Amino acid sequence: MILPVAGMSLPIVKTLADCADFSKTVSPFIPQLQTLTQQLLHPTTDSESLKSLYLSTNPLISGFALSLFLAPIFLVVSEFNKNYSQVDRCWSILPTLYNAHFTIWAHLNGLPTQRLDSVLAFSCLWSLRLTFNYWRKGGYSVGSEDYRWEVLREKIPPSLFFVFNVLFISLAQSVLLFSITTPTYVLLLASRLTGNPMTTVDIVFSCGMIALVLLEFVADNQQWNYQSAKKQYQKTAKVPPNYEREDLDRGFIVTGLFSLSRHPNFAAEQTIWVLLYQWCCYETLTFWNWTFFGAMSYLILFQASTWFTELVSSGKYPEYAEYQQLVGKFLPKLTGHGVGELRRRAVVKTDANAAAGKKS
């Protein structure tokens, strides 16, 4: 049974398609953004008043408000420290925070939550994997910063970089991390009509996203093990077990999942949030809906980020251009010899250099 307060903060929908209609599920609640801001400017310590405010505000609006609230914090901290990885440090946490927000809000209002609980379970696993990987690479160390921001600062005048920080690093990225979770809001609305039971298709979507997180974890470990072996090799000049000298001399990993895709973890990451979007489309019997904005923005960000990453890698590693020709960026290439050809060329080059050395 839906509590009265939910009726004031959720749209009246009669069909599943209505749940994905922006004009019915979002537009009517936009004025709440201003009302919420005004109420928060007069804070209260009364827990019942805070709970009432939370429950009487549309969950999409309150989640969006939080993403806007965080943007100036990211901006001030990044400019004060001259370290622009503040959003990066929260990247693995915020989407799960938003998914938890939708789920908790639904629980408190007595709404069906099985699908939301499933989304939150996947999201927690996603956060654990990404947070752990970011931590072990030193991302949370004092002064740690994504090397790409440093490269950009060298190419962009300080005044323009400040504008870039305001509009993209601090604001756009904060809103993006909220927008990729907006399909969860649509699932919340759809569950009011369909009820609690998880269908076979729901389970397939949920298990599919969890499987992709596990794929990311495997790719992370392969990358981590390779980089650890490379550092050991550069320090001792001894090839660690299970590695070939030419692979370590190359400077970047081309084995395991990276023999099929140059960025298998990126490919899985993008697919995860597209799957969540597709899940809400399936539940609402629509081919597409407004939450497409979040998934598409995420894809665009990864396309741009990957292009820039590979631009840096191409300048750093001589063989990277060949790797790009032989192995697909995200999806495996159906033709060609792949990494085998890259290794064959490396052996030929090594033999040629050795022969030249003997002649001299």
DSSP per-residue codes, 180-226: TTHHHHHHHHHHHHH-SPPPHHHHHHHHHHHHHHHHHHHHHHHHHHH
Q: Look at residue 6 and tell me if it is in a domain.
A: no
126 & 235 share domain = no
Say whether both 338 and 206 belong to one domain.
Answer: yes
Does 282 score more than 60 pLDDT?
Answer: yes
**What is the spatial distance between Cα 291 and Cα 276, in angstroms, rounded to a whole number?**
10
Assess whether 70 and 184 both reside in one domain: yes
Per-residue pLDDT at 1? 29
Taking the C-alpha atoms of residue 249 and residue 164, their distance in angstroms, rounded to an integer, is: 37
Domain shared by 162 and 275, yes or no: no
Q: Provide the pLDDT for residue 51.
A: 86
Whole-number pLDDT of residue 4: 34
Nearest to 275 by CA among 196, 200, 183, 192: 183
Residue 354 lies in a domain: no
Q: How far apart are CA 223 and CA 256, in angstroms?
A: 9
Based on the fold, state whether residues 207 and 330 are members of the same structural domain: yes
Q: Which two tokens stand for residue 237?
A: 């000049």
314 near 320, Cβ under 8 Å? Answer: yes
pLDDT, residue 3, reads 32
Residues 181 and 210 in one domain: no
* pLDDT tens-digit map of 188-197: 999 999 987 8
265 lies in some domain: yes
Helices in the chain by DSSP H: which ranges? 4-9, 22-25, 31-40, 47-56, 59-81, 86-90, 94-108, 114-136, 147-155, 158-164, 173-179, 182-194, 200-236, 245-250, 264-283, 292-316, 320-326, 339-359
Which pLDDT score, from 0 to 100, does residue 352 have?
Answer: 55
The amino acid at residue 6 is A
Q: How many residues does the chain have?
A: 360
257 compared with 3, residue with greater pLDDT: 257
Residue 95 sits in the same domain as residue 170: yes
Q: Are 314 and 321 in contact (CB under 8 A)?
A: yes
Q: How many distinct structural domains can be found in the chain?
A: 2
| 311 pLDDT more than 90 | yes
Local confidence band at 5 (pLDDT 50, 70, 90 cut-offs): very low
Whether 103 and 71 map to the same domain: the answer is yes
Whether 16 maps to a domain, the answer reads no
- pLDDT per residue over 116-170, tens digit each? 999 999 999 999 999 999 999 999 998 899 988 988 999 999 999 999 999 999 9
Q: Among 22-36, 251-265, 296-310, 339-353, which stretch is predicted with the lowest mean pLDDT? A: 339-353
pLDDT at 68 over 60: yes
* Band of pLDDT at residue 360, cut at 50, 70 and 90: low
> Which among 45, 97, 105 has a CA at the least distance from the CA of 69?
97
**pLDDT given for residue 346 in this prediction:** 60
**Looking at this protein, which amino acid is placed at residue 142?**
V
| Domain-located, residue 334 | yes
Residue 344 has pLDDT above 50, yes or no: yes
- Residue 281 shares a structural domain with residue 170: no
- Can you tell me the mean pLDDT for 303-312? 93
Q: What is the pLDDT of residue 223?
A: 97
Question: Which residue range(s) make up the domain with 294?
Answer: 199-347
Alpha-carbon gap, residue 255 to 260, rounded angstroms: 8
Residue 46 has pLDDT above 90, yes or no: no
Report helix, strand or coil for 261: strand
Tell which phi-psi region holds residue 2, choosing left (phi > 0), alpha (psi between -120 and 50) or beta. Answer: beta
Q: Which residues pair with residue 328 across a beta bridge?
A: 261
The reported pLDDT for the residue numbered 40 is: 77
Tokens of 123: 């999201």
As a whole number, mean pLDDT of residues 339-346 equals 65
Chain-wide mean pLDDT for the chain? 91
pLDDT class of 313 with cuts at 50, 70, 90: very high
**By the 8 A CB rule, do 170 and 164 touch?**
no
Q: Helix axis angle, 47-56 relative to 94-108, nearest 10°? A: 100
Q: Are residues 341 and 220 in the same domain?
A: yes
Lowest mean pLDDT among 189-198, 207-216, 217-226, 282-291: 189-198
Residue 10 in domain? no
Q: Which of 174, 176, 182, 180 is nearest to 59 (CA)?
A: 182
* pLDDT for 335 beyond 80: no
Is 220 part of any domain?
yes
The reply to whether 191 and 219 lie within a common domain is: no
Question: Using one digit for the tens of pLDDT, what is the confidence trace for 230-279?
Answer: 999 999 999 999 999 999 999 999 999 999 999 999 999 999 999 999 99
Residue with tokens 């009246």: 12
Residue 96 above 50 pLDDT?
Answer: yes
